[in-house]
């Protein structure tokens, strides 16, 4: 499952992205609305989380732009304001959920899971490449009908590559999508790719 987390407060963004990755989600973190739109132009997300009060392009504008383009990904709005008018405005703009800051991480993840369940009937949950099949919600991977066991990080790496099938991903993009800011270096990335390959998954990727 891939999540976009747009929040202009650095500490909250970094901690939340790190904890969501530890839960096994693939997460992209961004700091403002312009950056969020750039990510949304290049990646299909299962859940989009937007802080309303971002500098420049705010969260509501990002949401309206997203919906005007026909993107139906579930969107959760974050805000420090708990006024009824703010919640109604966000929901009327096309939001699926609304969470007031500060929030408990357990509530955030519960709401994410609820959005994923709600959206599962409307969006395919499976991707295939040749005889390789990936079921994102259950994290089940099979090749030629044989199930393959992957760790959370190995699955996140495979998911990123599958979701960007046909696109060229740089080493930096993979590092940012799969690892947090504690990434240990290029050798870690290539070691992970090597481990996945040994598990009968062929990944067409070249060093650059």
The 10s digit of each residue's pLDDT in 12-61 is 999 999 999 988 888 999 999 999 999 999 888 989 999 998 988 999 99
- Stronger pLDDT, 181 or 158, i.e. the higher one: 158
* Pairwise CA distance, residues 184 & 189, whole Å: 9
pLDDT of residue 34: 95
pLDDT at 186 > cutoff 80: no
Please name each of the domains of the chain with its CATH number. 2-119 (3.40.50.2300), 126-198 (1.10.10.10)
Q: Which pLDDT value is given to residue 140? A: 85
Residue 208 has a pLDDT of 45
Mean pLDDT of 152-172: 73
pLDDT of 24 reads 82
pLDDT of 132 > 60? The answer is yes
Q: Which of 77, 137, 103 is nearest to 19 (CA)?
A: 103
pLDDT at 1: 77
Average pLDDT, the chain: 81
pLDDT of 184 > 70? The answer is no
pLDDT of 79 over the 70 cut: yes
Sign of CA dihedral 146, 174, 1, 161: negative
Do 53 and 59 form a contact (C-beta atoms < 8 A)?
yes
Per-residue pLDDT tens over the stretch 99-130? 999 999 999 999 999 998 876 655 557 887 77
């Amino acid at each position: 499952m891939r999540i976009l987390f747009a929040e202009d407060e650095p500490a909250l963004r970094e901690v939340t992205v790190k904890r969501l990755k530890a839960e096994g989600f693939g997460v992209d973190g961004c700091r403002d609305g312009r950056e969020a739109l750039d990510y949304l132009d290049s990646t299909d997300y299962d859940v989009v989380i937007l802080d309303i009060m971002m500098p420049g392009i705010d969260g509501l504008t990002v949401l309206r732009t997203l919906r005007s383009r026909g993107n139906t990904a579930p969107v959760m709005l974050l805000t420090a304001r708990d006024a009824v008018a703010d919640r109604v405005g966000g929901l009327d703009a096309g939001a699926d959920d609304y969470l007031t800051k500060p929030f408990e991480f357990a509530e955030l993840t519960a709401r994410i899971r609820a959005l994923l369940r709600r959206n599962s009937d409307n969006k395919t949950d499976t991707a295939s490449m040749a005889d390789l099949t990936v079921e994102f919600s259950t994290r089940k991977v099979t090749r030629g009908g044989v199930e393959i066991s992957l760790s959370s990080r190995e699955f996140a790496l495979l998911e990123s590559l599958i979701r960007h099938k046909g696109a060229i991903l740089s080493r930096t993009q993979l590092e940012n999508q799969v690892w947090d800011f504690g990434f240990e270096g290029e050798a870690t990335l290539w070691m992970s790719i090597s481990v996945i390959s040994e598990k009968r998954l062929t990944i067409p990727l070249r060093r650059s």
